[in-house]
Structures are given as structure tokens and as C-alpha cells.
């Protein structure tokens, strides 16, 4: 079994050869960041994406921006769960920064994947508050972000092309899970009445 570190070393060797041959450009660096992300080497993937963004005349894809935002929020959640001494101001600043970047992506266009990434971001923020905060308003903050996540997952479901229903799997699973958390109904109960429930969720969200 090949471990991620071995694959990373092989990747670095390939990049060194490409660089020495003056064959390296932003598309290759983007590929490196994507591979690091797939290997779950989150810290290194984030560094690679940030380096890519800072390059002059870089022609990386919007997909890499999506992945960067997704990884940064995941990294923040992992960091908060591992270190309770992080100052709340630092956490709030990073959350705000990531959400602003995600908002810029939505301004480019509201694809199902981007809406799901926003839903995932708000879900992770709720988990951060659950793990870290002890403020009296903690439960309200958690519920507010879960509600936002619910709305974005619902919008993602609506934006899915009917010809590609496999794309529904991720947002609709999260939609039902978060609804179960908010409504405090058991998931197995929700599964039995899933079609009707999904319709009701969409109707309620349309009213807000």
C-alpha cells in the first residue's frame, strides 16, 4: 500500500523535473494542490492553493478556489477541536474571511457544488461553536448556522440538473441529516417519509 507521504515525494520529484525543464506553470501547480487535497494532506494543499492565488498571471480554475475554501473551513474545524486555547477573535476572523471568499464564488455563479460547499461551511461553523464556545448564545449560534446550511443544501438540490440526479446524493443526505438535528426526529423515522419530508422542507424554505 502506497502511503500519502510516498506519493507526495513522488509528486515533488515530478515537479522538480518539470521546473528544471521550464515546463511548470499555474495549471501544473493547480494539479499539485488538487492531488495534495485528494491525499488528505490538508495543510500542504491549502498552502499550495494560497500560493497559486498569489501568482501573477495565474490562470487556475474556479474549481481550485472552491476546493481551497472547503479545505480551509475543514482545517479550521480540525484545529479548533484539537486546540481549545485558540482565541475566539482568531476563529471569528478566519470564519469571516472564508465566508467572504465563498460569497465571491456565489457571485460568479450558483452551481450545485458551490451551494453545497456553502452548506458544508455553515455545518462546520455550527460544529466549531458546538466544540469551542461556552457563551450563553451558543445554542442560538449553532441553530442559526445549521438553518443556513439547510437552506444552501436545499438550494443545491434545486439547482441539480434532472439529467444528473447522482449529484443529489450529497446535498439531500445533508439536508435530511440537518433537518433531523434541528427537528430532533430520528433519522430512521425521517427515512420512511423522505419524499414527503423533502417536499415540506422546500415549501418551508420558500416561505422564508
How many other C-beta atoms lie within 10 A of the C-beta of residue 188?
Answer: 8
Residues in CB range of 57: below 8 A, 6 or more apart: 26
124-138, 148-162, 165-179: least confident range: 124-138
Residue 117 falls in which region: left (phi positive, over 0), alpha (psi -120 to 50) or beta: alpha
pLDDT band at 99 (very low <50, low <70, confident <90, very high): very high
Please give the Cα distance from 31 to 37 (Å, whole number): 10
Q: Which residue has the cell 422546500?
A: 202
116-136 tens-digit pLDDT: 999 999 999 999 998 876 766
Q: Which one, of 138, 131, 133, lies nearest residue 88 by Cα? A: 133
HSE-CB for 130 with a 13 A CA cutoff: 14
Amino acid at each position: 500500500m502506497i502511503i500519502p507521504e510516498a506519493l507526495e515525494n513522488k509528486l515533488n520529484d515530478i515537479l522538480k523535473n518539470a521546473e528544471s525543464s521550464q515546463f511548470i506553470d499555474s495549471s501544473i501547480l493547480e494539479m499539485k494542490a488538487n492531488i495534495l487535497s485528494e491525499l488528505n494532506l490538508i495543510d500542504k494543499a491549502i498552502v499550495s492553493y494560497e500560493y497559486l492565488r498569489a501568482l501573477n498571471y495565474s490562470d487556475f480554475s474556479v474549481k481550485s478556489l472552491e476546493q481551497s475554501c472547503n479545505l480551509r473551513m475543514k482545517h479550521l474545524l480540525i484545529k479548533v477541536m484539537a486546540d481549545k486555547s485558540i482565541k475566539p477573535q482568531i476563529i471569528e476572523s478566519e470564519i469571516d474571511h472564508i465566508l467572504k471568499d465563498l460569497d465571491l464564488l456565489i457571485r460568479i455563479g450558483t452551481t450545485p457544488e458551490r451551494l453545497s460547499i456553502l452548506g458544508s461551511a455553515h455545518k462546520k461553523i455550527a460544529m466549531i461553536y458546538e466544540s469551542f464556545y461556552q457563551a450563553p448564545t451558543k445554542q442560538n449560534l449553532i441553530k442559526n448556522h445549521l438553518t443556513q446550511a439547510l437552506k444552501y443544501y436545499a438550494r443545491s438540490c434545486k439547482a441539480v440538473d434532472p439529467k444528473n440526479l447522482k449529484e443529489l446524493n450529497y446535498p439531500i443526505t445533508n439536508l435530511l441529516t440537518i433537518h433531523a438535528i434541528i427537528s430532533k426526529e430520528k433519522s430512521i423515522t425521517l427515512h420512511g417519509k423522505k419524499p414527503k419530508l423533502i417536499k415540506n422542507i422546500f415549501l418551508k424554505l420558500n416561505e422564508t
